Structures are given as C-alpha cells and as structure tokens.
A = this chain, B = another copy of it.
Amino acid sequence: MKSEEQFLELIDAHFPREHDFLALGRGDDCAVLRGGSDYCVSSDLFLEGVHFRREYFSAADIGYKALAVNISDIAAMGAKPVAFTLDLMAPPDLPDEFWDAFFKSMSMLARQNEMVLAGGDLSRSDRLGMSITVFGAPGSTGFLRRRNCAFGDILFAVGDLGLARAGLMALEKDGPAARETLPAAVLAHLRPKPKVMIGTLLNAAGVKGLMDVSDGLARDLPRFLGPDLGADLVLAPGKLNANVISYAESIGEDPAAFAVTGGEDYALLGAVSPFEAGKAQSVPGYIQLGTVTKTPGITLNGSPFKVAGFDHFDT
C-alpha cells in the first residue's frame, strides 16, 4: 500500500458503510450505533508472533480468524453480532495482494454474519496485528452470562475440545505440511467457526449460562463456575474428534486430558438445569461434559485434574 487513501479505498471496496444498527457509518470522528437495544461489547487482539504466524497462516486465514475469535465472544453471550471496529497495525512492505485477500476474507465472514465495519484506525507497524471490537444485540432471553450455575447442573460444550491445539502443535512442528496429516485439527486452528447460530439456539433453549472456551476447558471452567463450585467431567473417546485422539496418542498423552487442556477451541461451554435440558440437548453438536459439583476443583473421568493452561506472562 502506498498511502492511507489507498487503504481506505480498498476497505470501502470490501465493506459497505450502511447497516440497520448504524445511525452514522465510517468517515466521521465516530460512528453512531442506534439506541433501543442493549449492546454487548468485546475486544480482542490478534498479533503476529503471538496469535498467528505468517509461515502457515495465509492472508485470508489471518483476516478470517481475527474477526472470528471476536464473533465467538458474541456467540458466547447468546447474542447476535451486528458491528465491529478494526484497528490495523500494518507493515508497509506487505504487497497489495496480501491486503486484498485479507479484506476479502474478513468481509466475507462479516457479510455471513450481517455485520458492518463501523470504524477503526490504521497505523504502520513492524509487525502485523489487529485489535477488533465487536458489538452484539441480545438473543431471545437477553445475554447469557458466566457464574450462573448451581450444584447438579449439567455442563455441556458445542465444538471440538483440544482440536485446535492439536492443529497448532502440528503446524508448529511440521509447518503447512500438517494440513495433510491432521486436516480437521489444522482447520480448527486456522479457521475456527464462531457458533453464532448455536449460541442463539441455546439462548432460546433456556440454558443458564454460556462461555467462550479460548484458554482450554480446564482453565476456563473455574471462570465459568465461579469460586464456590467445581465440575465432574466424563469424557469418553466417543466425545472427542478423531484427530484429537490420534494426535494425543502420537505424543503419548491421554486424549481426554489433552482435550480439556485445549486452547483456542472457540467452543461454547454451557450449563443447563437437568430438569430443563431437553431443548439444549437437541442443539446440533451438543456434547455432555458432566455435572456441576458442590466444591471447587475438577475431576476428569474419575480422577482429580489440574492444569495451568496458557499465560501470556508465564516465565
């Protein structure tokens, strides 16, 4: 790209400015979101060298995933994404073809979800990166929160636990060649599917809470349950993706333990009362994980389970 103007023209070519939820679109000091409904808001970074590598992420993969991981937070509220802002950190040496593929892929995902690009910022930077803020409108019962479980509730997930982690590990070891050996796992890492429709269905099905599993189930569960409750998980091999089982076994790990250690699953974790579980259980992809226990801590297939998970500042 030669100038900011050229960037803005390319963005205008890919992203419409108008949307039912916008009273004012891109091009002023601010955009204006129409009032009337509550809005849920979330913001996520997607940075080269931290969240992705250009060695095995194509421009289209990067544009897609940067937005997808944000939409996933909206889905986890049982909400409907409507708009987003994009702050783009762009190395000046990337070719025009890169940006065309990047915006094309991001705009396709936005269009599929009927989202509008409401604004953002652009800066040169040594490393490629983006910060996206997304806005969602409430689902049929409003927004689904964390920490709304009780002893005896059923815990469930929609999405493959551990699959994206297997993909990441294989990509880090073998590079793009991993696409051949573990296609489902690699796809789960490069192109996680935000579960907007599923979240909406679970909201209508009367589940008590929902959460985006991004740091691995074992690390995210305590955040979902709160400090006073625990979980008894039963994960038979039939509940795991075949790529997770084969990858875990290839590195000598227990597949269930590998799955709950996960990371970047972008699966939905939910809780539902056992007396009202019927509708939720009929949602496509529903996987029963176990039950909420009276005391903190996690047991997995009968044994206590502990894991640190990923920390950006662990030394």
Contacts and interface: CB of A to CB of B under 8 A. Distances in A.
A39 B92 CA distance: 33
A257 interface: no
Assembly of this chain: how many copies? 2
Given A123-B50, A313-B4, A315-B2, A42 B23 contact: no
A24 B2 CA distance: 42
Contact of A23 (B38, B212, B312): B38
A146 to B, nearest CB: 5
A27 B42 CA distance: 11
Contacts of A146: 27-29
A7 B51 CA distance: 19
Contact of A45 (B5, B73, B131, B315): B131
Interface string A78-94: 01000001110110100
A30 B73 contact: yes
Contacts of A252: none
Contact of A30 (B2, B40, B86): B40
Given A41-B118, A41-B119, A4 B34 contact: no
Chain A interface category by residue count: 35 or more
Contacts of A43: 85-87, 119-121, 131, 133
A31 interface: yes
A143 interface: yes
Given A28-B146, A44-B121, 5 more contacts: A31-B40, A32-B143, A43-B131, A44-B87, A45-B123
A312 B313 CA distance: 31
B35 A124 contact: no
Contact of A131 (B27, B39, B79, B87): B87
Nearest to A310: B4
Given A43-B85, A43-B121, A89-B47, A35 B37 contact: yes
B30 A41 contact: yes
A74 interface: yes
Interface in A248-288: none
B312 A4 contact: yes
Interface string A102-139: 00000000000000001111111111010101011000
A72 to B, nearest CB: 8
A76 interface: yes
Contact of A89 (B36, B45, B76, B79): B45
A166 interface: no
A244 B89 CA distance: 32
Interface string A180-192: 0000000000000
Given A43-B120, A119-B41, A123-B51, A74 B131 contact: no
Contacts of A313: 1-4, 6-7, 90, 92, 124
